[in-house]
Amino acid sequence: MKLTRRGYGVLGVVVLAEALALTYGARALNAIAAPAVVVLLASAVQLWRTPAPTAERDRVPAGFPGDTREVTVDVDGGGVAEIDETVPEGLDAEDARAEASLPTTFAYSLTCVERGRHKLGPLTVRVRDMLGLVERTTPAGSTARVLVYPPVYRVGGREAILRHVLERSEVERQEFDSIREYAPGDPLRDVHWKSTAKSPDEIYVTEFADNRVEDDDVTIAAVGDAGSIDEMASAAASVAVMALEAGLAVELRLPDAHVRLGRGDGHRQRLLGALAQTDTDFTSPFETYTLEDDVLADADVVVRSDADGVTLAFGADERDFEAVTASRENPLSARGVGS
């Protein structure tokens, strides 16, 4: 508990009045000082008797970089308060500060910025008495975990990649879904010539609704050098989401995490959650060799990242991730990818 600026002003009046009274014997000045002292004491007692604020926050759904979440916190207590949220690096907030009479509901907009597991909170609540002379600062409420997934990009040449993984001559094709721009790796037999003829500057290909391969599975292994982990996580997430959408069961191996085979939205969230938190910062060449040997053994798809970029290896076939990505400027949104 401490005085506010206004409180210090009142205290200054008391000290000045007492000093003048002692110097000049003006007893009338005591009539100014005494009420001011009473007011300060009353304010301190009022604030002391006010219960400490508490806060209850809603869960914040996971998201991708650029996603926005509405955060709501119920703050209980009494008095007039300044509420300030603790926002870590990797997240950005608008209007994460407010002044209100307690109890109140505090709400603001939070934007996901960087991949990772971020700790949001606790709130800092500064409660003042009714006259604004005394204040008390209290951390209120628990913290919340906010997962920011790596960006997920649409991978071009999806059918060719699945053929490498499944070792099939051809992946079963199903009904027509849409027309999209050509991406490196797309087979020429998928070119939609009618749409391409209308726009000579662009090549369009046919996208099929689904390529279901329900009885198959794929193991994705991912390793990366320190400083390139974000890129590795994004590439692994893009391949994993593509495989799940094709109906494959997916296993993910990382030096610091292992997600066993599974399908469905819940499994998708587990994969993305592991890639949101991974940090394969090796500390020695021996440890690097040992971990990579365990992680990469018998993997169907190997994702590697270093200062030069990210590569995807399907057996003997190795591709640059930039080359097989349909659009790095427009990553997929969270359309069913998990929250």
Same domain, 118 and 188: no
Q: What is the pLDDT of residue 240?
A: 92
* 233 in the same domain as 315: yes
| 55-109 residue pLDDT tens | 898 899 999 999 999 999 999 988 888 899 999 999 999 888 988 888 999 999 9
166 in any annotated domain: no
Decide if pLDDT at 6 tops 90. no
Check whether residue 7 and residue 39 sit in a common domain: yes
Nearest to 270 by CA among 338, 185, 190: 338
Q: Do both 259 and 196 map to the same domain?
A: no
Number of domains in the chain: 4
User: Are residues 262 and 302 both part of a single domain?
Assistant: yes
The reply to whether 238 and 301 lie within a common domain is yes
Closest CA to 282 of 290, 272, 274: 290
State whether 8 and 108 are in the same domain.
no
What CATH number is attached to the domain comprising 111? Answer: 2.60.40.3450
Final residue belonging to a domain, choices 102, 130, 148: 148
Asked whether the predicted pLDDT for residue 307 surpasses 90, the reply is no
Token pair 């939205």 is at which residue? Answer: 265
Question: 254 and 277: one domain?
Answer: yes
Asked if residue 282 belongs to a domain, the reply is yes
Task: Decide if 156 is inside a domain.
Answer: no
Instruction: Read off the tokens for 138.
Output: 């209290």
Distances (CA, A) of 194 to 175, 179, 181, 183, 220: 18, 11, 13, 17, 37
**Residues 189 and 225 reside in one and the same domain:** no
Q: How remote is the C-alpha of 78 from its chain's centroid? A: 33
Note whether 301 and 253 are same-domain residues.
Answer: yes
- Among the candidates 10, 31, 49, a domain finishes at 49
Average pLDDT over residues 218-246: 90
Alpha carbon of residue 162 to chain centroid: 30
Clarify whether residues 222 and 316 are in a common domain: yes
Burial status of residue 112 (CB atoms within 10 A of its CB: 0-12, 13-18, 19 or more): buried
Considering the domain boundaries, does residue 71 fall inside one? yes
Q: What is the pLDDT of residue 226?
A: 83
pLDDT band at 43 (very low <50, low <70, confident <90, very high): low
pLDDT band at residue 233 under the 50/70/90 scheme = very high
Residue numbers of the domain that contains 28: 2-49
Measuring CA to CA, how many Å separate 137 from each of 2, 47, 123, 140?
9, 11, 10, 9
Each residue's pLDDT tens digit, 130-153: 666 667 888 887 889 999 999 998
Residues 149/234, Cβ–Cβ less than 8 Å: no
Residue 279, pLDDT score = 84
In a domain? residue 333: no
Q: Is residue 241 part of a domain?
A: yes
CA gap 289, 283 in Å, rounded:
11
Domain presence at residue 39:
yes
pLDDT at residue 337 tops 90:
no
More confident residue, 177 or 162: 162
> In terms of domains, do 180 and 139 share one?
no
Q: Over range 200-207, report the average pLDDT.
A: 74
Query: Which of 208, 228, 248 lies at the terminal end of a domain, its last residue?
Result: 208
Q: Does residue 170 belong to any structural domain of this protein?
A: no
